[in-house]
């Protein structure tokens, strides 16, 4: 039992030691920094372009939906008026 406990504690210390060792990070050269900045700028431009296209499509869809809704309301109003006229005619015929 003591050997098992000692092995577990030793494993805990070893894993802690490995977890704390910093990874070696190479220093970035100016060329690498410049290339990363260029790539980031291109990516940002693509994102902005996609956002603009999405916004334009959303605006167009909203306008189309509003137009369709207005037409439906007008059609319903016209039907209500026709129904009212039919009711008046039916009432006068009796």
- What is the predicted pLDDT for the residue at 22? 63
Counting Cα atoms < 13 Å in the Cβ hemisphere of 56 gives: 6
Predicted structure pTM score = 0.48
- What is the predicted pLDDT for the residue at 80? 92
Give the H or E element holding residue 18: helix 2-20
Q: What is the residue extent of each domain of the chain?
A: 25-93
Q: Give me the average pLDDT of each 10-residue run along the chain (94 residues).
A: 83 69 70 91 95 95 96 95 84 72
């Amino acid at each position: 039992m003591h050997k098992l406990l000692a092995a577990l504690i030793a494993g805990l210390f070893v894993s802690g030691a490995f977890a704390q060792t910093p990874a070696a990070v190479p220093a970035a050269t100016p060329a690498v920094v410049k290339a990363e900045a260029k790539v980031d700028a291109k990516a940002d431009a693509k994102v902005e372009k996609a956002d603009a296209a999405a916004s334009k499509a959303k605006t167009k869809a909203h306008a189309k939906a509003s137009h369709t809704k207005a037409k439906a309301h007008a059609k319903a109003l016209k039907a209500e008026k026709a129904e009212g006229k039919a009711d008046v005619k039916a009432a006068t015929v009796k």
